Amino acid sequence: MGEMNHQPGVPPPVGVPPPMGMQPMMNAPVGAGAMHQPYEQFNQLNYCVHSNPSWVQVAGLAFLHYLVMLGSTVMLVSIIVPAMGGGPGEKARVIQAFLFVSGINTLLQTLVGTRLPTVMNASFAFVVPVLSIARQFNTNDFESNHERFVHTMRATQGALIVASILNMILGYSRAWGAFAKKFSPVIMTPVVCVVGLGLFQIGFPQVGKCVEIGLPMLILAIVVQQYAPLYFRHIHERTTFLFERYSLLLCIGIVWAFAAILTAAGAYNHVSLKTQQHCRTDKSFLISSAPWIKISYPFHWGPPIFTAGHSFGMMGAVLVSSFESTGAHFATARLAGATPPPAHVLTRSIGLQGIGIFLAGLCGAPAGSSVSVENIGLLGLTKVGSRRVIQISTGFMIFFSIFGEVW
């Protein structure tokens, strides 16, 4: 009863399986997105945005992301703070402010922004307007360089606060989303290339300022990342994994130890002061000048100074950083195995970036934030696009922004 009748000796018909698109799927966790293997989304990607390595690997990769963003932060601060009249003490405090703001902005972007593994860091697009503000204040008008630095910082803070409003308007009015709909691959590919290659004029000349340190680092990074895994693959698979995943961390430790040995051996005792500042490991005075405990709070340099000319100049940098972040989001999505961010996600991210620039103006960080292109390159280098790694790296940023002596 209820069974289908069929002729004797004839096998019952076999049901045709439904098409691939009609097959039932297991219920994915809420907010997890489509569950695909990483290799289906990007070639040689070990972990995509939703998949996570072990906690030990997460901690190591998070610290590596922190080191990469710290290097670009120190480079930016070394450019603008001396021009503002600051010394090692001011450098250390500004670095701590940048770390605190970057940690908060990165955490917000990974939670409620694009939710991509992007690190928000100080943008070099703000160097020109900040230096322009610094040049308008003559040293002779102040009793000390510290007083000049504080006055320049207050003027920069006011310009950042006003300029951040433009970013928030573009984002939360959805005007940026209307422009983002026209961002085709033909448009975004040159933007991503210009953003990445534009950093060479800032970072690569630093190698020539101390060739005996910079050149070995460059060669060692290429050899360890590109050739060492191929050689050690026949010896043990674990060594190949370590070279591919943590090669940059290994190179930083080796080259810094090499620089410390040269400094202790007296290799730079009879060279110019400029060479000593670039090559010695004990001439920056950042760690010794940093306070043991420092919590960034609003207006700790004093109340901001609002000037129309400074604010309009800073708005240009805000627009440039918005274009940088937009192109960087597409590159991050590609390297993290995620779909390209749609217009409403981009506009939400730009609005949130405006809040981050406003926070930088409050907490004494003299430059706005954008997506760190260096950390995007690290995603492709380590083949790990996990969002959790970036979120854990914000813990390192906030921790070292408070405890400066343990840098």
Is residue 315 within 8 A of residue 180, CB to CB? The reply is no
Contacts of 224 (CB under 8 A, 6+ apart): 243, 247, 250, 251
- pTM of the model as a whole: 0.81
SS3 content of the chain, % helix, strand, coil (to 5): 65, 0, 30
114 burial type by CB count under 10 A (0-12 exposed, 13-18 middle, 19+ buried): buried
Contacts of 142 (CB under 8 A, 6+ apart): 85, 148, 151
* Max CA distance (Å), the chain: 109
User: Could you give the C-alpha distances from 244 to 118, 223, 247, 337, in angstroms and in order?
Assistant: 21, 11, 6, 18
Tokens of 216: 């070995």
Tokens of 230: 């191929």
Is residue 230 within 8 A of residue 222, CB to CB? The reply is no
**Predicted confidence pLDDT, tens digits, the chain (407 residues):** 444 455 555 555 555 555 544 444 444 443 344 444 554 555 567 888 888 999 999 999 999 999 999 988 998 998 899 999 998 889 999 999 999 999 999 999 999 999 999 999 999 889 989 999 999 887 777 888 889 999 999 999 999 999 999 999 999 988 888 887 777 767 777 776 776 666 666 667 777 778 888 888 888 888 888 888 777 777 777 777 777 788 888 888 899 899 999 888 888 888 888 888 788 887 777 777 777 888 888 998 999 999 999 999 999 999 989 988 988 898 899 889 888 888 899 999 999 999 999 999 999 999 999 999 889 989 988 889 999 999 999 999 999 999 876 55
Domain extents in the chain: 55-205+291-402
**Cα-Cα-Cα-Cα dihedral of 287, 290, 292, 293, to 10°?**
-140
Q: Which residues pair with 241 in a beta bridge?
A: none
